[in-house]
Amino acid sequence: MSIRQAMLAILEQGPMYGYQLRAEFEQRTGETWPLNIGQVYTTLTRLERDGLVEVVGHGGADETDQADTSSDRQVSYRATEAGRSEVSEWFATPVPRSQPPRDELAIKLAIAVTLPGVDVGTIIQRQRSATMASLQDYTRLKRTGRAATPTEPADLAWSLVLDALVFDAEAEVRWLDHCEARLRRAAADATEVRRQAPAATTAEEAAR
């Protein structure tokens, strides 16, 4: 899972507490994929179990978050040699696309077009408005937030994450437009076929 490798890669910079690690992660990615602190420590514990990070003891880093003062959470971690090679491996390996992430919208439309009595056009329009609204939000953040004029590498990183969200949303809107156009064409063809029922085969030929 990428959060694990991302945390490990950030730890290469030097020892950190869990809270710092989370802050560094969110500095680069905004709150697009929020990490809860429990998740951060669970991941650190597993990384330690697997020999990829080690505890460097208490103190050393300037932890300012007083929300949690229990001693086991004041521990800082650093990447081990094995951890470093896992990070290099991660950067060297393309993210696989062979297993497409589950796409709820594609699944929803795929089911909807096969069921009688579902208004696919309305589903598409509602989705397009919702996706467009997100696209407007991302664009607003891009032109007004710290991503607008990035001065630090972490700001540039956040601006690139926003670009990824923008391109993703744009692709979804384009796909919805495409679905709408194809469904309209299919509906028109179906009407045509019904009208020329005796010559159905010819109409199908013509539609191609």
Partner 1 sequence: MNAVLHLAAVSRIHGEGATEVHALRSVTFRAHPGELVAVMGPSGSGKSTLLTLAGGLDAPTSGSVWIEGTDLASLDNAGRARIRRTSVGYVFQDFNLIPALTAAENVALPRELDGEKARIARRLALTALEEVGIADLADRFPDEMSGGQQQRVAIARAIVGERRLILADEPTGALDTDTGEEILRLLRTRCDAGAAGVMVTHEARHAAWADRVVFLRDGVVVDETGSDEPEALLADEASR
C-beta of residue 104 within 8 angstroms of C-beta of residue 77: no
Least separation in angstroms between residue 135's CB and partner 1 is 4
Residue (136 or 202) nearer to partner 1, CB: 136
C-beta of residue 159 within 8 angstroms of C-beta of residue 150: yes
**Exposure of 25 in the CB half-sphere (CA atoms within 13 A):** 25
Least separation in angstroms between residue 166's CB and partner 1 is 6
Per the listing, tokens 């905004």 go with 30
Least separation in angstroms between residue 19's CB and partner 1 is 16
C-beta of residue 109 within 8 angstroms of C-beta of residue 122: no
Residue (2 or 129) nearer to partner 1, CB: 129
C-beta of residue 193 within 8 angstroms of C-beta of residue 204: yes
Residue (34 or 51) nearer to partner 1, CB: 34
C-beta of residue 51 within 8 angstroms of C-beta of residue 74: no
Residue (67 or 197) nearer to partner 1, CB: 67
- Chain contacts with partner 1 (rule: CB under 8 A): 30-32, 34, 125-126, 128-129, 131-141, 143-146, 158, 166-167, 169-170, 173-174, 177, 181
Q: Which two tokens stand for residue 177?
A: 């437009």
Least separation in angstroms between residue 165's CB and partner 1 is 9
Least separation in angstroms between residue 125's CB and partner 1 is 5
Residue (47 or 141) nearer to partner 1, CB: 141
| Single-letter amino acid code for the residue at 46 | R
